[in-house]
Amino acid sequence: AQSVAQPEDQVNVAEGNPLTVKCTYSVSGNPYLFWYVQYPNRGLQFLLKYITGDNLVKGSYGFEAEFNKSQTSFHLKKPSALVSDSALYFCAVRDRMDSNYQLIWGAGTKLIIKP
Amino acid sequence: NAGVTQTPKFQVLKTGQSMTLQCAQDMNHEYMSWYRQDPGMGLRLIHYSVGAGITDQGEVPNGYNVSRSTTEDFPLRLLSAAPSQTSVYFCASSSTSGGALEYFGPGTRLTVL
């Protein structure tokens, strides 16, 4: 079965420190990979995606993620965290062969950046 | 572009009542979907559509109906509301390119008493 795992319900980081939010996936084919962010009482906003090419993808607000095919991972990273990065982060995967275009979502990771 | 719009933003229903959550997009996207978001559960797909006149069930379709008569609109109907349907509902749309982004509406917070 296709699935996405975000193994940490919550990640706590001090402001200015690097942050990592983990995501691993299981799909039958080659994946499209996405990260979205949700601020309190808001909808989801796109951060970055991997389609093809360079395994290191850069996105909005200084975030980046690395696609690792052998480890089936797509961890989200930022070199220096800001308090304003505190939010709920979702990893999502779409199988390239899925004609229904469905996204498979992780359960989300709450990121808390402390001043 | 208004993007994806949803109405209402908040709604309180009594058990057994019915209602329709409205969703519209102005990006000419073929694909539209409805999710519900519950604490600790992430997003769960209720129904989706790959084009006008075509709908299909997602992970949690029971108690909900959808229709897609136009490309722009994708309403979600609650047939007989139950407390278990208390949730935040998001509508999303995308093109049918596999790498396409899903664009989300602002959400509807529904409480069923």
CA neighbor of A56 nearest in space, from A75, A72, A71: A75
Q: Pick A105's closest partner by Cβ from B42, B48, B94.
A: B42
Q: What are phi and psi of B70, to 5 degrees?
A: -130, 165
Q: Tell which wins on pLDDT, B69 or A43.
A: B69
For position B109, what pLDDT does the model report? 95
Residue B18 in 3-state DSSP? Answer: coil
Residue B83 in 3-state DSSP? Answer: helix
Cβ–Cβ below 8 Å for A101 and B94: yes
Mean pLDDT across B89-111: 89
Angle at B78 between CA A90 and CA B100, to 5 degrees: 35
List chain B residues with CB under 8 Å of A34.
Answer: 101-102
For chain A, residues with pLDDT lower than 70 are: none
List chain A residues with CB under 8 Å of B48.
Answer: 100-102
For position A100, what pLDDT does the model report? 76
Radius of gyration of chain A (CA): 14
Per-residue model confidence as pLDDT tens digits over B42-67: 899 999 999 999 999 999 999 999 99
